[in-house]
């Protein structure tokens, strides 16, 4: 029986300007996702600034993609009197695989979700996009094409402070603003302001809708 999976293929934006180990940061994010969302989540960094991740919970795919975004955007590099916020261009493909990989060496694997994710990422630079999702379901893909530019526009404005608060808010269910503040060394008021300005409240309904759609269309 084939397994429905989500594959995220990405590359670090302006990687040559980043001072710091983004590989380590990506693996820390992957550990958090394994601990809180999908124990089977795998992430592989290859070709320097490229990475792939795979999950057995495709309905959580948008959530995991946004966690990677927020997790990277918490970091920044100061170079030549310029602040460079870390970020990644990512494409997610959803589809079936005969077998789920057991180890992190993902770059040599193939199948529906890998093909959809990889092909979509290849076309993103010329279209100036940072987030795409391909499911193989025409109606769903058309909706994603309409909605994701709005998601991308919201995420693009996250500051490091906002991304730090959003990351914890998305990662831990039922976490309070005070608990987020305790983890970040900030007041509840500061956390509330960061979350309000981040507009994460506008994204949550669509994250939930995406989960429902994938469950119905791909996991019947």
Give the whole-number percent of the chain exceeding pLDDT 90.
70
Report the helix count and the strand count for the chain, using DSSP H and E: 9, 7
Contact 208, 215 (CB under 8 A): no
- pLDDT tens digits, one per residue of 150-207: 999 999 999 999 999 999 999 998 999 999 999 999 999 999 999 999 999 999 999 9
- Write down the pLDDT at residue 220: 52
Query: What are the residue ranges spanned by the domains of the chain?
Result: 3-157+199-218
Answer whether CATH 3.30.70.270 is correct for domain 3-157+199-218.
yes
pLDDT surpasses 80 at 110: no
Burial label for 92, CB within 10 Å (0-12, 13-18, 19+), is buried
- Residue 81: φ, ψ to 5°: 60, 25
């Amino acid at each position: 029986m084939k397994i429905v999976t989500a594959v995220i293929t990405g590359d670090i934006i302006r990687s040559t300007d980043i001072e710091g180990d983004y590989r380590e940061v990506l693996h820390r994010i992957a550990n958090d996702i394994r601990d809180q969302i999908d124990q089977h989540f795998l992430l592989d960094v290859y070709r320097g600034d490229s990475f792939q991740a795979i999950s057995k919970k495709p309905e959580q795919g948008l959530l995991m993609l946004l966690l990677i975004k927020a997790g990277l955007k918490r970091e920044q590099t100061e170079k030549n009197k310029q602040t460079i916020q870390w970020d990644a261009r990512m494409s997610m493909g959803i589809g079936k695989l005969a077998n789920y990989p057991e180890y992190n060496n993902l770059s040599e694997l193939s199948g529906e979700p890998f093909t959809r994710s990889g092909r979509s990422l290849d076309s993103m630079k010329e279209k100036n996009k940072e987030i795409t999702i391909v499911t193989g379901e025409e109606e769903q893909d058309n909706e994603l094409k309409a909605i994701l530019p709005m998601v991308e526009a919201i995420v693009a404005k996250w500051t490091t402070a906002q991304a730090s608060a959003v990351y914890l808010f998305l990662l831990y269910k039922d976490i309070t603003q005070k608990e987020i503040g305790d983890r970040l060394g900030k007041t509840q008021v500061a956390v509330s302001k960061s979350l309000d300005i981040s507009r994460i409240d506008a994204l949550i309904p669509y994250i939930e809708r995406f989960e429902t759609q994938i469950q119905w269309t791909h996991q019947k």
